[in-house]
């Protein structure tokens, strides 16, 4: 059985590409029905269009409230019969409207070994703290910031000669492997 999924992203879209590639190869039993982006002009929009994926670009400032903003997104996901939502660099905290519309069916990827280094710039936070191991976490989304139940994690060592940039490259490489694999496993169960 193929699931219908939506991917939410705000930036370059490299995790979107990794997910889409795995879908196209048949590794993930799904179709990407919708890309949701909150940043008009983000590179992920062009990547989705090139892949033939419908896009919904919505800017929070165009709505009177977070609830109204999220209602448009939830309605669009329902209109496309979306079963699961995968956040892939989506830089907004989801609120009650989205969480109620898709309970236990919204998954996020975060560039640290949660519960350490939540929120923005997790790679920079880990580097500044001087940890020797950081990594990637895939988790269910709940009301908190990066606090939902953990689904999978992968460790990434911090090398002595690392810079934030070299560490970021290795973390992104890990994300691009672990996220499609975990989505395939989750949807195949």
Output the CA–CA distances (angstroms, integers) from residue 21 to 71, 94, 123, 159, in the order listed: 29, 26, 25, 30
Alpha carbon 17 to chain centroid distance?
Answer: 11
Q: Considering 3, 12, 80, 110, which one is annotated as catalytic?
A: 110
Confirm if 168 and 123 have CB atoms less than 8 A apart: yes
Pull the structure tokens for residue 10. 């705000």
Q: In which order are the strands placed within the sheet that holds 30-37? A: 55-57, 30-37, 3-9, 84-87, 106-110, 133-140, 150-157
Confirm if 77 and 6 have CB atoms less than 8 A apart: yes
Pull the structure tokens for residue 105. 């069916």
CA neighbor of 35 nearest in space, from 73, 62, 8, 72 = 8
Q: Counting every residue, how long is the chain? A: 189
12 is catalytic: no
Catalytic residues: 110
């Amino acid at each position: 059985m193929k699931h219908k999924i939506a991917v939410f992203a705000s930036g370059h879209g490299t995790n979107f590409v990794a997910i889409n590639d795995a879908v196209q190869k048949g590794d993930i039993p799904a179709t990407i029905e919708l890309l949701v982006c909150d940043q008009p002009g983000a590179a992920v929009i062009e990547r989705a269009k090139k892949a033939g994926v419908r896009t919904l670009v919505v800017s929070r400032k165009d709505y009177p409230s977070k609830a109204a903003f999220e209602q448009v997104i939830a309605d669009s996901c329902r209109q496309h019969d979306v079963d699961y939502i995968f956040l892939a660099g989506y830089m907004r905290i989801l609120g009650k409207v989205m969480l109620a519309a898709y309970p236990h069916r919204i998954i996020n990827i975060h560039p640290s070994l949660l519960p350490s280094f939540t929120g923005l710039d997790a790679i920079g936070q880990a580097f500044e703290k001087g940890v020797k191991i950081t990594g990637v976490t895939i988790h269910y989304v709940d009301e908190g910031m990066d606090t939902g139940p953990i689904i999978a994690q992968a460790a990434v060592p911090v090398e002595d000669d690392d810079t934030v940039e070299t560490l970021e490259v290795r973390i992104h490489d890990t994300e691009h492997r672990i996220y499609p694999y975990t989505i395939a496993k989750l949807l195949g169960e």
